[in-house]
Structure 1
């Protein structure tokens, strides 16, 4: 599945580039996302997604695999898995920055692969939700840049200490506030709610069935 999104931020291209290529700085700007640590050059994180009464949590990792400052082009490889086994997704994300007067236009091309129940959303629904997510991200990025926050400010996740072996896991130095879950029904809008509700009902039924089975097993002992 291929997605294309564009947005513009009121910041010089070099400022926008420095921020967008700092995953520590931009990850918290994504709705529902939170960094949890590092594994070598990869960033570890999680995202909470709410569909009606059901909240799912995805854990995953992302890494910058290509950066070309002269061309203002970056490639991110990311993958994630639902903690309840509803499915998994992986993506190759290519971002390109172009000067637009005093502002910067950002084009994000995503090649996404979705497996499991997540695929039931369909490409049309995912594309529309992706666009609205990107709009929220762009607004948060705009606010961050307008506030003059530097990409080199204290980070949520810290790099490995000098002398630490390559690939060593590095956790965030202290607990951070849990983000609000990404509300898919609220984000999708009325036009898509009816298409999402059957999936939400199926997931809820699965959760209830799982809890019932655990309850019965405990009382059989």
Structure 2
């Protein structure tokens, strides 16, 4: 199970507290047939990660902890584009833990809190475990959580496939 100090995230009001917002919880684990140090370096490099995220574009690396970009997603009949920023609140290379928060505005609003942890496997591969809470408001919140969950699962599978193709070659 993921652990870590989530205090700064707890003190910030969640987007879900706003009227009409929807909270989506995502928990995923996947394996990459690559050493943990290679996976860590890849997943903590915004330029590498954004190339694997469907619909995402990196606009600016502000500093080593803050990035700005855009993401677009289509869920059923609703297409939404967001412009925002993400902050790496925790990057613990020794324990291979990461915590990221992001906020975006555009066709509604969105915010995200993500915690991740990597574990070295006996076969030389790496297990990655991620848990995220995403809050969406506006038209996207009207689509329905089941459809959003279905699309988020599909996007996650595409992300993992792209990460593996980069690291397992």
The offset of 1:54, in angstroms, is 6.6
- Given candidates 66, 91, 97, the residue that maps to 2:90 is 66
- Structure whose residues are more often strand by fraction: 2
Q: Distance in 1 between matches of 2:79 and 2:149?
A: 21
- Given candidates 135, 151, 161, the residue that maps to 1:113 is 135
Q: Distance in 1 between matches of 2:146 and 2:76?
A: 19
- Structure whose residues are more often helix by fraction: 1
SS at match of 2:165: helix
Q: Distance in 2 between matches of 1:9 and 1:42?
A: 26
The offset of 1:92, in angstroms, is 0.6
SS at match of 1:71: coil
- Given candidates 97, 113, 120, the residue that maps to 2:118 is 97
Residue 96 of structure 2 corresponds to residue 75 of structure 1 = no
Contact conserved, 1:5 with 1:131, CA < 8 A, in 2?
no
Aligned partner of 2:165 in structure 1 is 143
SS at match of 1:128: helix
Q: Distance in 2 between matches of 1:51 and 1:129?
A: 6
Contact conserved, 1:96 with 1:106, CA < 8 A, in 2?
yes
The 1:54/1:122 distance shift into structure 2, 3 A limit, reads closer
| Segments of 4+ moved more than 6 angstroms | none
Residue-by-residue CA offset, 1:20-44 (whole Å, 9 max, x unaligned): 0111211121001110113344211
Q: Distance in 2 between matches of 1:56 and 1:134?
A: 17
Gaps of 5+ in 1: 148-221
Aligned partner of 2:60 in structure 1 is 37
- Given candidates 109, 114, 122, the residue that maps to 1:88 is 109
The offset of 1:8, in angstroms, is 1.2
The offset of 1:102, in angstroms, is 1.7
Q: Distance in 2 between matches of 1:20 and 1:132?
A: 19
Q: Distance in 1 between matches of 2:97 and 2:143?
A: 30
The offset of 1:52, in angstroms, is 6.5
Residue-by-residue CA offset, 1:158-212 (whole Å, 9 max, x unaligned): xxxxxxxxxxxxxxxxxxxxxxxxxxxxxxxxxxxxxxxxxxxxxxxxxxxxxxx
Residue 38 of structure 2 corresponds to residue 15 of structure 1 = yes
Give the number of aligned pairs: 144
How high is the TM-score relative to the length of structure 1?
A: 0.60
Aligned partner of 2:10 in structure 1 is none
Q: Distance in 2 between matches of 1:97 and 1:51?
A: 30
Contact conserved, 2:83 with 2:105, CA < 8 A, in 1?
yes
